């Protein structure tokens, strides 16, 4: 018997959002840091850097702010990720 994955319970947190900035990771911009790829919080619009970036601001925001679902903020990418589930959603 095949078990289907449980749907992510955090999808209910997704809201229509506008990015806080289009210039980069808002936390890195504030501290003078650097980033590799950007993630957009789908609950509040926070723009943070990915886990391959030195500060991992998107992950920090997901857990400190309670907003686990992000989408890629990179041109041409449209996937979503839930940090709480550690899965694409």
Dist CA 59 CA 74 (whole Å): 16
Extract long-range pairs of 33-38: CB within 8 Å, 24+ residues apart.
Answer: 37/72, 37/73, 37/74, 38/72, 38/73, 38/74
**41 domain-assigned:** yes
Domain at 84, CATH number: 3.30.40.10
The reply to whether the predicted model has a pTM over 0.85 is yes
Examine residue 2 and state whether it is found in any structural domain, yes or no: no
Tell me whether residue 39 is in a domain.
Answer: yes
Domains of the chain: total = 1
| Nearest by Cα to 55 from 28, 82, 80 | 28
pLDDT digits (tens, 9 = 90+) for 25-79: 999 999 999 999 999 999 999 999 999 999 999 999 999 999 999 999 999 999 9
- Is 63 among the domain residues? yes
Residue 1 lies in a domain: no
Q: Could you tell me the pLDDT band of residue 7, with boundaries at 50, 70 and 90?
A: confident
Q: What is the C-alpha to C-alpha distance for residues 30 and 43, in angstroms, rounded to an integer?
A: 21
């Amino acid at each position: 018997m095949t078990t289907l994955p449980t749907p992510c319970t955090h999808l209910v947190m997704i809201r229509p959002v506008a990015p806080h900035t289009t210039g980069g990771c808002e936390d890195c911009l504030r501290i003078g840091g650097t980033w590799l790829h950007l993630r957009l919080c789908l609950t509040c619009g926070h723009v943070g850097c990915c886990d391959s970036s030195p500060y991992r601001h998107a992950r920090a925001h997901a857990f400190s702010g309670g907003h686990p679902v992000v989408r890629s903020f990179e041109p041409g990418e449209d996937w979503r990720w839930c940090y709480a589930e550690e899965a694409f959603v």
